[in-house]
């Protein structure tokens, strides 16, 4: 018999799959598509692989080595910003989605820097998430992942703490520092529930040693949220 947690996981997985199908349906022939990272994005890439096998043709720009590997294995053609500096549609997951603004916290999967470059290059940025990610205020469920340079990371952590956070350097399964695709570290920075995330995002940007934060402020075009009643579309006003 499945445990309580197992049931929750199955339900969340079904929701992620439902929203992945809805998002993959937005991709049309000839598009340049940003391919997100994380378990929801992985389902979406899988569906795009099926559509590719059925004859859909587009090019992808991946947000991580992981997503690149998955897409390549499915035969999806990948390109870079060198030839395709503008993305038609980027689809990615999120760790928190703020109901009122559709601002996000991203980066629990460690790909926030590439994800942000891809989102910033996209004419349309669609976020896919299960209902558990919706919050009234950012900081409710998760700390903010902040990508920092390895040199001087302790000083950078000190500066982030001076902004009111507690920081924990992210580790991998072996206990070593987690290293991003860009060769940097991540400080999971807990600011608690925030009244003014844009201000915190701006303050983080000023800290020397910060490469990027997991705040995605004002970037979301729309969110597809999967809940018990199916997929709901929320559009930024
Ligand atoms: O930001 C991310 C990776 O850096 C992911 O999009 C985010 O962590 C959501 O992942 P999942 O779909 O597995 O819940």
pLDDT of residue 36: 98
Look up residue 80 and give its DSSP letter. -
Q: What is the 3-class SS of 85-121, one letter each residue?
A: CCEEEEEECCCEEECCCCCEECCCCCCHHHHHHHHHC
**What band does 183 get if pLDDT is binned at 50, 70 and 90?**
very high
Give the mean pLDDT of 24-52: 98
Nearest residue to 35 (alpha-carbon basis) of 2, 69, 68? 68
Yes or no: say if 147 and 185 are a contact pair by the CB < 8 Å rule.
yes
Q: Is 2's pLDDT higher than 50?
A: no
Burial of residue 94 (number of CB atoms within 10 Å: 0-12, 13-18, 19+): buried
Q: Which pTM does this prediction carry?
A: 0.95
pLDDT of residue 4: 45
Judge whether 55 is annotated as a binding position. no
Yes or no: say if 214 and 189 are a contact pair by the CB < 8 Å rule.
no
pLDDT digits (tens, 9 = 90+) for 142-171: 999 999 999 999 999 999 999 999 999 999
Instruction: Give me the architecture of the 4-135+217-227 domain, per CATH.
Output: 3-Layer(aba) Sandwich (3.40)
Catalytic residues: 115
CATH 3.30.70.260, applies to 144-212: yes
- Spatial separation of the C-alpha atoms in residues 90 and 126, rounded to whole Å: 6
ipTM: 0.98
Yes or no: say if 184 and 113 are a contact pair by the CB < 8 Å rule.
yes
Q: Whose CA is nearest to atom 10 of ligand 1?
A: 38
- Spatial separation of the C-alpha atoms in residues 196 and 24, rounded to whole Å: 33
Nearest atom in ligand 1 to the alpha carbon of residue 92 is 6
How far does the centroid of ligand 1 lie from the alpha carbon of residue 128, in Å?
9
Least confident of 135-139, 214-218, 225-229: 225-229
Domain with CATH 3.30.70.260 in the chain: 144-212
**What band does 10 get if pLDDT is binned at 50, 70 and 90?**
confident
For a ligand 1 pocket test, name from 37, 63, 112 the mutation site with the most ligand atoms within 8 angstroms of its C-beta: 37
pLDDT of residue 8: 58
Q: Distance of alpha carbon 15 from its chain centroid, rounded? A: 17
**What band does 93 get if pLDDT is binned at 50, 70 and 90?**
very high
Give the mean pLDDT of 183-193: 98
What are the CA-CA distances from residue 96 to residues 104, 202, 225 (Å)?
5, 18, 11
Look up residue 133 and give its DSSP letter. G
For a ligand 1 pocket test, name from 13, 23, 34, 40 the mutation site with the most ligand atoms within 8 angstroms of its C-beta: 40
Judge whether 108 is annotated as a binding position. yes
Q: What separation, in Å, do the N-terminal and C-terminal C-alpha atoms of the chain show?
A: 45
Judge whether 123 is annotated as a binding position. no
Q: What's the chain's Rg over C-alpha atoms? A: 18
């Amino acid at each position: 018999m499945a445990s309580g947690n197992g049931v929750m996981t199955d339900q969340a997985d079904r929701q992620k799959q439902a929203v992945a199908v809805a998002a993959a349906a937005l991709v049309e022939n000839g598009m340049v598509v940003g391919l997100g990272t994380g378990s929801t994005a992985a389902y979406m890439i899988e569906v795009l692989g099926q559509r590719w096998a059925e004859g859909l043709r587009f090019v992808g720009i991946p947000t991580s080595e992981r997503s690149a590997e998955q897409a390549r294995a499915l035969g999806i053609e990948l390109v870079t910003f060198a030839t395709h500096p503008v993305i038609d549609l980027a689809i990615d997951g999120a760790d928190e989605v703020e109901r009122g603004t559709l601002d996000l916290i991203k980066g629990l999967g460690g790909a926030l820097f590439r994800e942000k470059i891809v989102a910033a290059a996209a004419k349309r940025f669609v976020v896919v998430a299960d209902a558990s990610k919706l919050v009234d205020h950012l900081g409710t469920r998760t700390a903010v992942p902040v990508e920092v340079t390895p040199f001087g990371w302790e000083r950078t952590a000190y500066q982030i703490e001076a902004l009111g956070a507690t920081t924990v350097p992210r580790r991998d399964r072996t206990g070593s520092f987690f290293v991003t695709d860009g060769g940097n570290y991540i400080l999971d920075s807990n600011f608690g529930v925030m009244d003014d995330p844009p201000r915190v995002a701006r303050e983080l940007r000023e800290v020397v040693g910060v490469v990027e934060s997991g705040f995605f402020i004002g970037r979301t075009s729309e969110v597809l949220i999967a809940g018990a009643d199916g997929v709901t579309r929320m559009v930024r006003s």
